[in-house]
Amino acid sequence: MEAQKLEIIETKKNPEKERLELIEKKVDIQKKRLEVKKEKLSMDKMILDRTKDLLELSEKKVALLNKRLEIKKAKLDMEELLTNRHLEGQRLLTEKISSLLISLIVTTVDEERTILGSEPIYKSIIEGERREIVLKKVMEQIIKL
């Protein structure tokens, strides 16, 4: 009888022991699941950090390209300014030449040689040595063009 009681107690302990072992296995499985989740989260964090670094790098590249474009624009603006100055200088030279040529062409009535009631005799406003100086100036201005 005692042997039977021991067997009954052992059989009762066995299901309880098996149940505890099952619970321990479930806890171990839960722990492993948590570890897997932690690993997955750490990998996601690493991927997120890498993506963030790539975005920052891309932003820096865009900023650099913008600076390069600004520099190119500034260079083009400077070239345009220089071209406009050159054209303005050419225009001023042309106006100088025109005004000098006009001063050589313009004539007035020569009062000393014109007789009243007859055809007027014209003379240049600039004559002699002054005329030669003006012609030299005109030639200098033409050479500058």
Model confidence pLDDT, tens digit, residues 66-123: 999 999 999 999 999 999 999 998 899 888 888 888 877 777 777 777 777 677 777 7
Find the domain containing 29 and state its range: 2-144
Query: What is the count of structural domains for the chain?
Result: 1
Please give the Cα distance from 48 to 41 (Å, whole number): 10
Model confidence pLDDT, tens digit, residues 55-69: 999 999 999 999 999
- DSSP letter string, 46-90: HHHHHHHHHHHHHHHHHHHHHHHHHHHHHHHHHHHHHHHHHHHHH
Q: Which residues are CB-neighbours of 108 under 8 A, at least 6 positions away?
A: 122, 123, 125
